[in-house]
Amino acid sequence: QLQLQESGPGLVKASETLSLTCTVSGDSISSSSYYWGWIRQPPGKGLEWIGSIHYSGSTYYNPSLKSRLTISVDTSKNQFSLKLSSVTAADTAIYYCARIGMIVVVIGYWGQGTLVTVSS
Partner 1 sequence: EIVLTQSPATLSLSPGERATLSCRASQSVSTYLAWYQQIPGQAPRLLIYDASYRATGIPARFSGSGSGTDFTLTISSLEPEDFAVYYCQQRSNWPALTFGGGTKVEIK
Residues that bind partner 1 (CB under 8 A): 46-49, 52, 60, 62-63, 96, 100, 104-108, 110-113
Please state the closest distance from residue 13 (CB atom) to partner 1, in A. 27
Residue 13 identity (one-letter amino acid): K
The dihedral sign for the CA sequence 7, 85, 100, 47: positive
- Which residues are 99's β-sheet partners? 36, 109
What is the number of helices (H) and of strands (E) in the chain? 0, 11
Please state the closest distance from residue 24 (CB atom) to partner 1, in A. 15
Please state the closest distance from residue 47 (CB atom) to partner 1, in A. 4
- Residue closer to partner 1 by CB (options 20, 100) is 100
- Residue closer to partner 1 by CB (options 8, 16) is 8
- Residue closer to partner 1 by CB (options 8, 110) is 110
Cβ atoms of 96 and 40 closer than 8 Å: yes
